[in-house]
Chains A and B, each alone.
Chain A
């Protein structure tokens, strides 16, 4: 068992993690980047070094921008450990808590420990759960998962494909498939009528943003090629053992169409499992209906020594993530004593400006593509927790038994206790309890998440070292903690 040391640990090799690692290492910070994937890029630039989709027009220039992040990262001297899953961040039980964190992670089924003085979480976003009747049927996938297959393996969906939901990614993926020569039979847009009016106050920024020109072109091309149904309600996936058809209601009419594949997407939300388990404070973002860690402008959290950069600190997109990574890295270098505050502030200046440009126009999207209530707070026997097959009605009825929050719900129905550790149901369960109790979501809170945040085998755990030194340190800490 080896215990690796580093000054700065960065978790996640998406745009935030890559740019942060590059700038930190270039400033002399001993930097280690751990990433779950075999190749850098994160989800947005997934397989950027390895994709078989070599025709650059298919995935588009925004995807290929990711390649430009790799050169500075490689040149910086930052260490990179691919295929590494972080499952714990300990401070109080670390052999020497004053010296920083002890991080547990696994590579290829082998558990390892490392010591880091500072941690930057760059774990990005995940797709918002989209609980509709039948969403657990084979053939129903998230649009993000389908996009990953396209990027990493060049795989495209089956015969009759329907894309449903809302958000900019919906059109992007349709456009990418279009470029790859794949026909999507229909796009079902769930954005309710009237949303555009709500988004209008933000339209001026949107018109001045880079999204405008590119976005308009993309939407135009998609609209020319694929039939689009707007204001879709009552979306259902139907089938015996797999998806056979998609049913929906539009203007009071119920329609049904045969389908082999239904790709669902209603936006992305911060991936909060690591930050929550680490004990970072989170806020409810009412504009985007999701939790996000409390961070300052540098990405510093409520916990000394832990920063967050990129979409994991609140959704702002890939280009913003890049600059947020750079800013968080400058701050880490400052905290670790490699540069002073004056140098940090000076170096940060161009990044602030770039960040401001990168997020311009996002408020328009956020308002326009807010996920509709119907698809965030399901009813009846629609499954909410996929792992434990808990339905919306079960959650709603259990509130009446005295289960007043998500943790009590967990103990009662086991929702959130399966292998996804709440990633697919956490938001839904909090919102359902809030609705049943008639109180705001922040009052309900979220699942209390604990390490290990990713499953590991008992054999891996058994291979962890327990030196006499560490044992003594632990006893010392317990005495101190228990006093």
Chain B
């Protein structure tokens, strides 16, 4: 078997997490082989809302999200590209008293855990910052240091930098079967067999199939959050606005177009890798936008799409070593909020692969949590 057919680490899936893992390994001198069934960044990694968001994170994710944000601030040093990074904060707005109560409870929780990255923003400050927001909005919780970036550009930058440091990317190659033989993984693919002592499962919406081969079935649900984008509009918004009681993610990009997301889901067939936008659901999303920003009624929707990714029942990812196999690791199931975590998850995975451990608190993301019940 020739050298091109073996690697120190095989990473299944060329999304942001796979590419970031390849980059961090390459920085440490470990050359990985990324096997991607389509092309790098084809699904959720390339077409998500691009939020660099610590705001409103699951408590278990906060340490990782804060550490990742530090990497985002220096993203150009990491990948030689600014990734379209723009720091204008993120705000979770309260539309009614119930929202206010939910946000106050959230802030009490943050305070009790010693986190200071989320703070209250009253209605006056909010309106000063976003004059076009509906006068009925009662304020919100802001993560003023949060940001946004361009998802496809980011994923491609991670890939390019990783490749420049020795990582290899195989595109258009599907992984079929994984077999452990004499301390090596033999990974059979649509392009023959590749071998490595270590395999990292970054297969996103298809990751449960790899996990199942390792006797670790997981209740992964493939999902397809929908996005809309408008034609260019006059500048009216800097921070990203997210919803509290209703799903919404709303931001205006530097080019003037407005990106509308928030997790409303398309119909999807993950084997065909096809999705169909649900316009009645998008209509509900449009109503939320028009309520919060009345001038958006006249905004012209130009395109819509939906990326495919994995959601776990508890809406936090699986990160860590396989409990059933040697030389096997997982990073998947980011449940529609994995983009911001990309830089740090690659670092964590490289630490796990090389040292067998990480200082980051990843116990909540253990794959064993699904076998206990």
Residue B279 contacts which of A90, A419, A459 (CB distance < 8 angstroms)? A90
Is A481 located at the chain interface by the 8 A CB criterion? yes
In the bound complex, what is the Cα–Cα distance between A469 and B280 (angstroms)? 12
* Chain A proximity mask over B261-304: 1 for CB below 8 Å, otherwise 0: 00001111110001011111111101101100000111111111
Residue B153 contacts which of A412, A457, A465 (CB distance < 8 angstroms)? A412
Is A405 within 8 A of B39, CB to CB?
yes
From A242-250, A256-264, A362-370, A447-455, the one touching the partner chain is: A447-455
Q: Please indicate which of the listed interface residues B159, B228, B255, B297 has the most CB atoms of chain A within 10 Å of its own CB.
A: B297
Within 8 A of B (CB), among A446-483: 450-452, 455-459, 461-466, 470-471, 474, 477-478, 481-482
In the bound complex, what is the Cα–Cα distance between A101 and B147 (angstroms)? 40
In the bound complex, what is the Cα–Cα distance between A250 and B38 (angstroms)? 46
Known pairs A402-B40, A478-B267, A482-B268 / 17 extra A-B pairs, C-beta < 8 Å: A88-B277, A91-B276, A93-B267, A404-B171, A418-B302, A421-B303, A455-B300, A455-B301, A458-B298, A459-B286, A461-B283, A464-B279, A464-B286, A465-B280, A477-B267, A481-B268, A482-B223
Is B269 within 8 A of A412, CB to CB?
no
List the 4 closest A-B pairs by CB distance, nearest first: A464-B283, A411-B152, A459-B297, A462-B286
Within 8 A of A (CB), among B177-235: 221-223, 228-231
Using A93-B276, A419-B231, A450-B304 as known contacts, say yes or no to A411 and B269 having CB atoms under 8 A apart.
no
Is A209 located at the chain interface by the 8 A CB criterion? no
- Chain B interface (Cβ within 8 Å of chain A)? 39-41, 46-47, 152-153, 156, 159-160, 171, 221-223, 228-231, 255, 260, 265-270, 274, 276-284, 286-287, 289-290, 296-305
With both beta carbons as reference points, the residue of chain B lying nearest to A102 in the complex is identified as B279
Within 8 A of B (CB), among A399-439: 401-405, 408, 411-412, 414, 417-419, 421
Is A92 located at the chain interface by the 8 A CB criterion? yes
Is A104 located at the chain interface by the 8 A CB criterion? yes
- A–B complex contacts, Cβ < 8 Å, 18 sampled: A90-B278, A93-B266, A402-B160, A404-B39, A417-B229, A419-B231, A419-B300, A419-B302, A421-B302, A451-B279, A457-B299, A458-B289, A459-B290, A462-B283, A464-B286, A466-B280, A466-B281, A482-B223
Using A417-B303, A418-B302, A451-B304 as known contacts, say yes or no to A458 and B290 having CB atoms under 8 A apart.
yes
Contacts of A461 in B (CB 8 A): 228, 279, 282-283, 286, 301
Is A466 within 8 A of B304, CB to CB?
no
Residue A462 contacts which of B153, B159, B281, B297 (CB distance < 8 angstroms)? B297
Within 8 A of B (CB), among A70-103: 88, 90-93
Instruction: Name the distance in Å between A30's Cβ and chain B's nearest Cβ.
Output: 24
Is A481 within 8 A of B302, CB to CB?
no
Contacts of B156 in A (CB 8 A): 401-403, 408, 412
Is A28 located at the chain interface by the 8 A CB criterion? no
In the bound complex, what is the Cα–Cα distance between A28 and B160 (angstroms)? 60
Within 8 A of B (CB), among A92-128: 92-93, 104
Contacts of B153 in A (CB 8 A): 411-412
Contacts of B290 in A (CB 8 A): 458-459, 462
Contacts of B305 in A (CB 8 A): 450
In the bound complex, what is the Cα–Cα distance between A459 and B289 (angstroms)? 9
In the bound complex, what is the Cα–Cα distance between A450 and B266 (angstroms)? 12
Contacts of B171 in A (CB 8 A): 404
Using A92-B267, A452-B303, A477-B267 as known contacts, say yes or no to A459 and B280 having CB atoms under 8 A apart.
no
Residue B267 contacts which of A419, A457, A481 (CB distance < 8 angstroms)? A481
Instruction: Name the distance in Å between B301's Cβ and chain A's nearest Cβ.
Output: 6
In the bound complex, what is the Cα–Cα distance between A403 and B304 (angstroms)? 22
Contacts of A414 in B (CB 8 A): 255
Contacts of B283 in A (CB 8 A): 461-466
In the bound complex, what is the Cα–Cα distance between A418 and B231 (angstroms)? 7
In the bound complex, what is the Cα–Cα distance between A93 and B281 (angstroms)? 9
Is A452 within 8 A of B301, CB to CB?
yes
Is B221 within 8 A of A482, CB to CB?
yes
Is A456 within 8 A of B284, CB to CB?
no
Contacts of B302 in A (CB 8 A): 417-419, 421, 452, 455
Instruction: Name the distance in Å between A48's Cβ and chain B's nearest Cβ.
Output: 31
Is B298 within 8 A of A470, CB to CB?
no
Is B280 within 8 A of A402, CB to CB?
no
Contacts of A304 in B (CB 8 A): none
Is B231 within 8 A of A474, CB to CB?
no
Contacts of A215 in B (CB 8 A): none
Instruction: Name the distance in Å between A369's Cβ and chain B's nearest Cβ.
Output: 33
With both beta carbons as reference points, the residue of chain A lying nearest to B163 in the complex is identified as A402
Is A279 located at the chain interface by the 8 A CB criterion? yes
Is A412 within 8 A of B152, CB to CB?
yes
Is B278 within 8 A of A458, CB to CB?
no
Instruction: Name the distance in Å between A152's Cβ and chain B's nearest Cβ.
Output: 25
In the bound complex, what is the Cα–Cα distance between A463 and B290 (angstroms)? 11
In the bound complex, what is the Cα–Cα distance between A90 and B275 (angstroms)? 11
Is A474 within 8 A of B304, CB to CB?
no
With both beta carbons as reference points, the residue of chain A lying nearest to B267 in the complex is identified as A92
